[in-house]
Structure 1
Amino acid sequence: MRIVAIEHVQLAMPRGGEAEAQAFYEGLLGLPRVPKPPDLEIRGGCWFESVLGANAVKIHLGVEDPFRPARKAHPALLVHDLAALVELLRAAGVTVRDDEPLEGYDRVYADDPFGNRLELMELRS
């Protein structure tokens, strides 16, 4: 037996934040919102997923009461054209933070609308 992949990452969000989540994850990051199964839809939250060939990115946001954002724990997302994404995020008012260099990558941190930390990384060519 062995673990072969991460199926999805779940982050917490406050109740009623679905529109903000969609504006950020779909509107800015380009991850399409997908329907939740009906039995889970009643809980609130929303799912964003992109599957391109063998590559899948799935971020699920679930309602947490009381809500506390993940400030240290975070998903690290590989992106193409990090500079353009950083420009888009900053233009939308998202705070983007540089961090210590990591060999082989350009990377930054940004918070989603709820304060959850995201690492955005691009392989250096």
Structure 2
Amino acid sequence: MINFKRADHIQVCVPLERLEEARIFYTDVVGLQRIERPAFNSKGYWFQVADIQLHLSTEDALPRTSRHTAFEVADIAEARRHLESLGVEFWEEPVIPGRTRFSFIDPFGNRMELLQFTK
């Protein structure tokens, strides 16, 4: 599984008709714990990621953009092996000194960056 340490930034949306599929992806594939969300909030789910939250909301399908979340993980190689074993799509990120990183694309077109700081 992925050992999340902190979030850099968050924004995830899926089409309304794929909301339940997204809930399953984020709980069963990514391994996030679902938490309660306020009743006034739009349709969607909230998840706990280490000491922050990921809010999954709905909006009309959009083309892939640069919007994404970024999570620091304890073991970037293990995170990649886990996602590869489940056939998740990858997006290679440009090199940034001091960190190892890659992104994966969820089944709904959202880009999720994982990174590990190096010394």
TM-score, normalised by the number of residues in structure 2: 0.78
Distance across 1 between alignment mates of 2:85 and 2:65 = 22
1:28-47, aligned counterparts within 5 Å? 28-40=29-41, 43-47=42-46
Structure 1 or 2: more strand by fraction: 2
2:21 aligned counterpart, secondary structure: helix
Q: Which has the higher contact order (CA 8 A, sep 6+)?
A: 2
User: What is the identity, as a one-letter code, of the residue corresponding to 2:72?
Assistant: L
Q: Which 5+ residue runs of structure 2 have no aligned equivalent? A: 1-6
Say what the alpha-carbon RMSD is for the aligned residues: 2.2
**Per-residue deviation, 1:69:** 5.3
Query: Greater Rg, structure 1 or structure 2?
Result: 1
Question: What stretches of structure 1 move > 6 A for 4+ residues in a row?
Answer: none
2:14 corresponding residue in structure 1: 13
2:68 aligned counterpart, secondary structure: coil
Q: Which 5+ residue runs of structure 1 have no aligned equivalent? A: 1-5
**Per-residue deviation, 1:94:** 0.6
1:111–1:117 contact (8 Å) kept in structure 2: yes
Residue 48 in 1 paired to residue 47 in 2?
Answer: yes
Identity of aligned residues (%): 32
Q: How many residues align?
A: 112
